[in-house]
Amino acid sequence: MALLIYHHHTIVSTPIYDDETGKWKCVASISWAQSKGLPRQLHSIQDFFEPFSRYEDAENAGLEAAKNWVESRASKQLRVS
The CATH number assigned to the domain holding 46 equals 3.30.160.350
Phi and psi at residue 50, in whole multiples of 5°?
A: -65, 155
Average pLDDT over residues 30-40: 89
Burial class (CB in 10 A: 0-12, 13-18, 19+), 46: middle
Given a contact cutoff of 8 angstroms between Cβ atoms, the answer to whether 51 and 27 are in contact is no
**Which residues are CB-neighbours of 33 under 8 A, at least 6 positions away?**
8, 40, 41
What total number of domains does the chain contain? 1
pLDDT digits (tens, 9 = 90+) for 20-32: 999 999 999 999 9
Structural domain for 37, as ranges: 2-80
Pairing of strands 9-13, 40-46: unpaired
Question: What is the pLDDT, as a whole number, of residue 2?
Answer: 97
Among residues 46, 66, 62, the alpha carbon closest in space to that of 54 is found at: 62
